[in-house]
Each structure stands twice: as structure tokens, then as C-alpha cells.
Amino acid sequence: DTGVSQDPRHKITKRGQNVTFRCDPISEHNRLYWYRQTLGQGPEFLTYFQNEAQLEKSRLLSDRFSAERPKGSFSTLEIQRTEQGDSAMYLCASSGSLNYGYTFGSGTRLTVV
Amino acid sequence: KQEVTQIPAALSVPEGENLVLNCSFTDSAIYNLQWFRQDPGKGLTSLLLIQSSQREQTSGRLNASLDKSSGRSTLYIAASQPGDSATYLCAVSTGNEKLTFGTGTRLTIIP
């Protein structure tokens, strides 16, 4: 197992376009999280899945954002009608138990031009 | 609402020195605390995880301590090396599936 994988590593898109990111968690982890990090800030929580169920969403996650985790495996995060303010690093993490902490992926850097 | 503060925001030290990074949190009812390292433009690498019942954890040249009652954690790095240059983030879990992060300390080790 190579850890948490995220694809793509970088994405440049024009304002108004839709983008989709993928996260493959550690296979035995049932918990999956998305965070967003802007320059000079710590990551901020966006949403959380346990298996295929999306159990919590931050108020940061506007109606232009949607996340899925079909069959409790990989997850996708889609942003519709991107805005310049969406430019950030999108980080995915997984965990098997809160007792063992979180493992983060390398992130997807989104730039909206 | 949990708030996490890391001071200083940036730190430069000569190679070989020992150093301490600080993290403070406002709500002492934490589940655990995790220290991460982040290289520029990269994701987060977990360094140490301290459970609320523990006082410290060690891994190689790194030692993290936790004083829950005072809302503080420190990350001690011994015999610093240029490869230790990175941003160090602490994150607190209150058991509700959300991590609250500080804004990090950007560490530069001067050869």
C-alpha cells in the first residue's frame, strides 16, 4: 500500500469551468476526509465520509462543491463553475481509527485563472 | 470553538542546533494531537501522534510533548539538519472527526 493517492497533482482551469479531483485512500481505512488549504494557512475541514456515507459537511462547502465516495472506496470532489477564490490546495486524508491519526495525500493544487 | 496557534510563524536556526516549536490550543478537551511536516507545494507528512492520555512521543530526533491542562504542545528537534527545513503544522482532534490546524511554523535550517 502506497498511502493516500490524489490525482491530478496540479490543475489549471478557467473561471467558470468544472473540475473534478480524485482521492484513493489507504485500502483498509473506512474514514475519508477532504481539506482545503490556502497559501500561508493551515488546512480547513471540508467534508468527511465513513465508508460510502457522507456524514459531515463544512459550511465552507458551498452548493458548487460536491463530494462522493461510491462503494466506500475512492472519493471524488467536484467544483462547478469555478471561481478565483477556489484556488487552493485540496488535501485528502484517510484514517482507520481516530486512535491512529490521519494519513494525508500529496494534494491537488488548483489554480483558477 | 477550538483554536490552534503556532508561534513563531517563522524560525531560522544554524545547522546542528536543537530547537523547539510551540503549539497552543484553546479547548483542553482534546482526543489527540498530531504534528505534521509540509514541504513547499506538497502534502502533509505525519511526524508524531500524541493521545490525550500521553505526555510525550519520540521518533528519532523528534520529541513531542503534550500538556493538556495548559493547552500546549511542543515539538523538539535535536541536532537540526538542512533537510529539516519545512513548515511544521500541529493539528488537534476533539474526537468529532475534524482536525483543527494551526497556521504552521516555517523552519529554515542554515547550513
Q: How many whole angstroms from its chain centre is CA A85? A: 16
Q: Which of A42, A45, A100 sits opposite B102 (nearest CB)?
A: A42
Q: What pLDDT is stored for residue B101 in this prediction?
A: 97
Residue A41 to residue B87: CA distance in whole angstroms: 11
Residue B92 to residue B105: CA distance in whole angstroms: 16
Q: Has residue A1 got a pLDDT over 70?
A: no
First to last CA, chain B: 41
For residues A46-64, give the mean pLDDT. 92
The overall longest dimension of chain B from CA atoms, in Å, is: 42
The percentage of chain B sitting over the pLDDT mark of 70, rounded to a whole number, equals: 100
Residue B25 to residue B66: CA distance in whole angstroms: 11
Picking from A37, A46, A97 by the largest number of B CB atoms within 10 A of its own CB, the best residue to mutate is: A37
User: How many angstroms separate the CA of residue A101 from the nearest CA in chain B?
Assistant: 7
Q: Which residues of B lie closer than 8 Å to A, measured between beta carbons?
A: 4, 31-32, 34, 36, 41-46, 49, 51, 89, 91, 93, 95, 97-104
pLDDT digits (tens, 9 = 90+) for A87-112: 999 999 999 887 888 999 999 999 99
Q: What pLDDT is stored for residue B95 in this prediction?
A: 77
For residues B67-79, give the mean pLDDT. 97
Chain A residue numbers with beta carbons less than 8 Å from the beta carbon of B97 are: 31, 33, 48, 50, 55-56, 98
Q: What pLDDT is stored for residue B94 in this prediction?
A: 86
For residues A11-36, give the mean pLDDT. 96
User: How many angstroms separate the CA of residue A81 from the nearest CA in chain B?
Assistant: 25
pLDDT digits (tens, 9 = 90+) for B8-47: 999 999 999 999 999 999 999 999 999 999 999 899 999 9
Residue B84 to residue B108: CA distance in whole angstroms: 8
CB distance B104–A33 less than 8 Å?
no
Specify whether the CB–CB gap between B101 and A43 falls below 8 A.
yes
Q: How many whole angstroms from its chain centre is CA A24? A: 10
